[in-house]
Structure 1
Amino acid sequence: MEIDAGQDQEAGSSSHGSGIDLSNKTRGAWRGSDVTQHEIDWLRRSRTIPEGVSCRLPGDEIEPVLNLGEFVVFLAHFERGFGLPASDFFRQFLDFYRLQPHHLPGNAVFYISCYVSFMEAYIGIRPTRETFARFFSLRINSVQGKEIPKPKPPVQCGSCIIGSRQGSPFFKFSGLESCRLWQTTFFYVKNDGAADLINLPAFNPAPPTKVNWGYYPGMNHIETNRVVRFMEKLMKETDICSDDIIRAFVSRRVHPLKRRAHKMSEMYGPGDPTKITGHSLSKADVVLKAKQICQTDMPNDWEWGFLPLSSTNPPTQEAKDRFLRIESDKRGPVQKRPLDKVDPDPYVHWQELKMGNVSRLGNVPPEASGSADDLIMLEVHEHATPLQAEVGQEFLDKLTSGSKKNKAPATDALKPGPSCQTLAP
């Protein structure tokens, strides 16, 4: 087992300590925030920010300026599977590697969501840092430029790159190359009461110290070895693919990095409270939402290579015998939530693409996306209301104005290293 104490010179450097203003030298610098109230309202409607958490939009500040008790979160992270309160695994992940949310690029959050989706929806157990470290490695993302003296400091935002570990048998995913200015989507959240409904470490603007970044569970971690063998068996005997793992959480309307009442393998229908809504997506809409967060050639008429687990498609007895945590982690059914009158997330965020209002056609299985855990089929119609009434005039104004504020445009591009050949930063 390898553990890196992580207090090395490169990671200990910072843009402030170098004496050089790097704010206009790298795409990883703070650039202010473009988030609007409309987007905050969207997150609340889609249940990714719970009641009991207040939100505050940034002003003209370039870097976060927090009030007492506030945390910094990113809209780009919510779009890729994050939610509040953060899941226990995600909080443990941050604590173990001594990371802050702003250390993780938007694509890194997507990769973690895919890992959680596989562990819960295809094995039926909660994710662990041991199995994660078997599949992935972490590396520093440093400022590039000949004028920057060595050791080059980490970028201010997105300084932790997650990539496939060399020889990893895990599925390969590709994030969006366009996810470059994700850091301009920050805003502030705060608990209204004594209950912690955020579950994030206190904000620290310092660069990561690389604590435990060299951690590797070795080849003797029993459960991780079983996961690898089980996954390799699925790859050999079924048509499971990386798109299945993406579709699992997109079509289920679930955020893998949000604390939930039960695992994805226990999901049971449109009233399941772990979903952002009980409304289903058509197959074409699943593709649109997937392409919003990753690179994929998923066709509009896609079929499951291997159906994810659910209450109606439970793990086999063989899997239960191999993974005892399938039963010990099980929390059982919880109270159902009434179906929303309208879909709280009916359009692809950040895009001039709209998916139309959805209406129930009755109890006609299976659901439009083909999942086994829902019992209704939904049909997508043309919008019956004006576009500005559906998404808000503020959102339309943002699209027509080019979306992003003109704050210190980037002058160079960061080049991905060898560990990032299949995973975009």
Structure 2
Amino acid sequence: MSSEQYASSSSSGNPEDPASDGLSAELARTETESSQEQDAGSSSQASGTDLSEVTRGAWMGSSVSQYEIDWLYRSRRIPEGVSCRIPGDEIEPVLQPGERVVFLAHFERGFGLPVSSFFRDFLDFYKLQPHHLPGNAIFYLSCYVTFMEAYIGIRPTRETFARFFALRINSVQGLDIPKPKPPVQCGSCIIGSRQASPFFKFSGLESCRSWQGTFFYVKNTGAADLIDLPPFDPAPPTKTNWSYNPKESHNETNRIIRFMKQRMKDTDLCSDDIIRTFISRRVLPLKRRAHKMSEMYGPGDPTKITGLPLSKKDVVLKARQICQTSMPEDWEWGLRPLSSTNPPTQEAKDRFPRIGSGKRGRCRKRGLDKFDPDPVIFWKDLKMGRTPAARLGKAPPEPSDVPSANLNPQIHEHAAPLQAEAGKEFVDKLMAQGQKNKTPASDAGSSQAPPPNASGPSPSRVRSLP
């Protein structure tokens, strides 16, 4: 049965490893509570427990600022053809026609607009919304895409994903919550490794718990769809296709597993290699791109956030901002990822005919940025993750303290757009036309100062490149 024909409203019947998604401790406690709550659940059902008081996984309003929106444009995570609107005082999203809901925490972990065909297919196949996916789930998806593109040389597929990962529901917990326990409002779909999955193991940040407080609205400003997300639906997931697992029936996945195991035996390929690949490449795995990571070709590659390189230490610091890792600061590649100068071997091409399909066409190179639009931030405590500044009693810098985007040439004036892939570059017209309503110049941040709300410390703690 093909994945296109497969449909089920039941959850997976196979046992799965607990997901390390910043909620692992709570999920582990859930297993203990479930054996104790039968009687408690019955009494709660009768008493009519008020679920409005539940805060875990609930909408909590948004702390996103204009400063952070400007950073998303400068770092090429959002193209010019998309406008952004910051929520007001609403706790839950209140959309205007044509708008979609996205999350700053997702953009920090490999998400970008327009989304890749794989990510849209993933949402459609499992009938999911962005708010169903915790911040760490986006990180896991980014790692999977990176492995497929940068170490196999092919586009990711739902079949291989389903062989490696399983989906599980994240429900409201508590002895006083009646059964069946309802899914949480945000982060109700948790991605975890299947039992005995041969794929690499990754650990998200345990502190990534308030990611839903980073939502805002996006909307296409022209005829082209530069977002490619499904219309917003606040309902919980239906578990459609959640039990899908091709097992040994998908031949390409079988070959991938054998190939991966051989590489792990012959080299020092590890999970850290995958993490540092998309960080050091300055690429967003879940954003639509002109070509695969195996075809990337240097500083002028237009699929990058920027062509400026990161030091090894900076790669480690960025990794610690989004996951748990023991990566040393003087790390070495266990196995170098594929690129135009390190192409797949003939053996790999023989095993995977799709390597040669959809080869990279001609791409207009992008000029090198003068300043890094997405630099590294030094944190007081790298283990704590990113906590919106509004919840720490901090505020974004005053406009007088932040250089105007019109005065800051952080993006080269001749930067090449991804045209059909991602629209024109934001700052090209910003520089030419001056202040825009969606990104006021007075609030725009320096290329050397990403938003404090997204990163914790003030701009003075930014590490700039030489």
The alignment's TM-score, normalised by the length of structure 2, stands at 0.73
Quote the residue 1:5 is aligned against. Answer: 8
Find the aligned partners of 1:153 and 1:104 in 2 and give their Cα distance: 16
Letter in 2 for 1:340: D
Which is helix-richer, 1 or 2? 2
- State the distance in 2 between where 1:295 and 1:310 align: 27
Q: Give the match for residue 62 of structure 2.
A: 33
Whole-Å separation in 2 of the counterparts to 1:103 and 1:126: 24
1:297–1:195: structure 2 CA closer, same or farther, 3 Å change rule? same
* Aligned counterparts of 2:328 and 2:183: Cα–Cα separation in 1: 38
* Counterpart selection for 1:230 from 253, 259, 280: 259
Conserved in 2, the CA contact under 8 Å of 1:27 and 1:181? no
Alignment pair present for 1:395 and 2:398: no
CA deviations 1:108-150 (Å, max 9, x no partner) are: 0100000000000000000000000000000100000111100
Name the counterpart of 2:228.
199
Distance between the aligned counterparts of 1:126 and 1:397, measured in 2? 30
Question: Given the alignment of the two structures, is residue 153 of structure 1 paired with residue 167 of structure 2, yes or no?
Answer: no
1:28 partner letter: G
Distance 2:64 2:169 in 1: 27
Q: Which stretch shows the higher mean deviation, 96-105 or 390-399?
A: 390-399
2:284 to 245, 252, 255: 255
**Alpha-carbon distance in structure 2 between the residues aligned to 1:390 and 1:352:** 23
* Residues 1:139 and 2:168 are matched in the alignment: yes
Indicate how the Cα distance of structure 1 residues 351 and 124 shifts in structure 2: closer, same or farther if over 3 A, else same: farther
Deviation at 1:21, TM superposition (A): 4.5
Kept in 2, the 8 Å contact 1:32–1:184? The answer is yes
Name the aligned partner's letter for residue 49 of structure 1: I
**AA matched with 1:6:** S
* 1:237-266 deviation line (CA, Å, top 9, x unaligned): 110000000010000000000000000000
**2 CA distance for matches of 1:294 and 1:281?**
18
Q: Quick one: which amino acid aligns to residue 369 of structure 2?
A: D
Whole-Å separation in 1 of the counterparts to 2:375 and 2:298:
19
C-alpha deviation, 1:27, in angstroms = 2.0
For the Cα contact (< 8 Å) 1:80–1:113, is it kept in 2? Answer: yes
- For 2:453 and 2:87, the matched residues in 1 are separated by 20
8 Å contact kept, 1:126–1:329: no
Deviations 1:368-418 (CA, angstroms, capped at 9, x unpaired): xxxxxxxxxxxxxxxxxxxx96766983899589xxxxxxxxxxxxxxxxx
Matched, 1:332 2:368: no
Alpha-carbon RMSD: 2.4
Task: Tell me by how many angstroms 1:331 deviates.
Answer: 2.1
Tell me which amino acid in the other structure corresponds to 1:5: S
Residue of structure 1 aligned with 2:155, choices 108, 116, 126: 126
Q: Partner letter of residue 350 of structure 2?
A: D
Tell whether the 8 Å contact from 2:149 to 2:155 is kept in structure 1 after alignment: yes
Letter of the 1:395 partner, please give it: P
What letter corresponds to residue 322 of structure 1 in structure 2? R
Asked whether the equivalents of residues 110 and 284 of structure 2 are also in contact (C-alpha less than 8 Å), the reply is yes
AA matched with 1:317 = Q
Contact 2:116/2:286 (8 A) holds in 1: yes
Counterpart of 1:111 in structure 2 is 140
User: How far apart, CA to CA, are the structure 2 residues paired with 1:206 and 1:214?
Assistant: 20
Quickly say closer, same or farther: Cα 1:35–1:391, change in 2 above 3 A: farther
Deviations, residues 35-75 of structure 1 (Å, cap 9, x unaligned): 11111111100001001100000001000000010000000
TM-score, length of structure 1 as denominator length: 0.80
Task: Answer yes or no: is the 8 Å Cα contact 2:373–2:447 preserved in 1.
Answer: no
Measure, in 2, the Cα distance between the counterparts of 1:345 and 1:393: 7
The answer for the alignment partner of 1:78 in structure 2 is 107
CA distance in 2, matches of 1:234, 1:23: 51
Q: Which secondary structure does the structure 1 equivalent of 2:141 belong to?
A: helix
1:352–1:399 Cα contact (<8 Å) kept: no
Kept in 2, the 8 Å contact 1:119–1:125? The answer is: yes
Counterpart in 1 of 2:17? none
Name the residue aligned to 2:298: 269
Counterpart Cα distance in 2 of 1:49 and 1:306: 31
Q: Which residue, 371, 375, 395 being the options, matches 1:342?
A: 371
Alignment pair present for 1:66 and 2:84: no
Secondary structure in 2 matching 1:219:
helix
Find the partner of 2:206 among 177, 189, 192.
177
| 3-state SS of 1:235 partner | helix
What whole-Å deviation, never above 9, does each CA across 1:254-311 have from its counterpart, x for those lacking one?
0000000000000000000000000000000000000000000001100000000000
Contact 1:74 1:186 in 2 (8 A): yes
Give the conservation status (yes or no) of the 8 Å contact 2:186–2:212: yes
Distance 1:194 1:285 in 2: 39
Q: Secondary structure at the match of 1:161?
A: strand
Give the superposition deviation at 1:218.
2.2
Distance 1:159 1:396 in 2: 24
Q: 1:172 to 1:352 in 2, by over 3 A?
A: closer
The SS at the match of 1:302 is coil
| 1:187 aligned residue | 216
CA distance in 2, matches of 1:273, 1:157: 33
CA distance, structure 1, for counterparts of residue 278 and residue 265 of structure 2 = 23
Which residue number corresponds to residue 36 of structure 2? none
The answer to whether the 8 Å contact 1:23/1:30 transfers is no
Residue 224 of structure 1 aligns with an amino acid whose one-letter code is: T
Which AA in structure 1 matches 2:8? Answer: A
Structure 1 residue aligned with 2:347, among 271, 293, 318? 318
Question: Do the aligned partners of residues 71 and 226 (structure 1) sit closer, same or farther apart at CA in structure 2, a change above 3 Å counting?
Answer: same
CA contact (8 A) 1:267 1:310 kept: yes
The equivalent of 1:92 in structure 2 is 121
Q: Is the 8 A contact 1:133 1:216 kept in 2?
A: yes
C-alpha contact (below 8 Å) 1:292/1:348 kept by paired residues: no
Distance 1:66 1:167, change over 3 A: same
Please state whether the residue corresponding to 2:191 is helix, strand or coil. strand
Which deviates further from its counterpart, 390-399 or 18-27? 390-399
> Residue 394 and residue 165 in structure 1: after superposition, are their counterparts in 2 closer, same or farther (change >3 A)?
closer
Q: Secondary structure at the match of 1:190?
A: strand
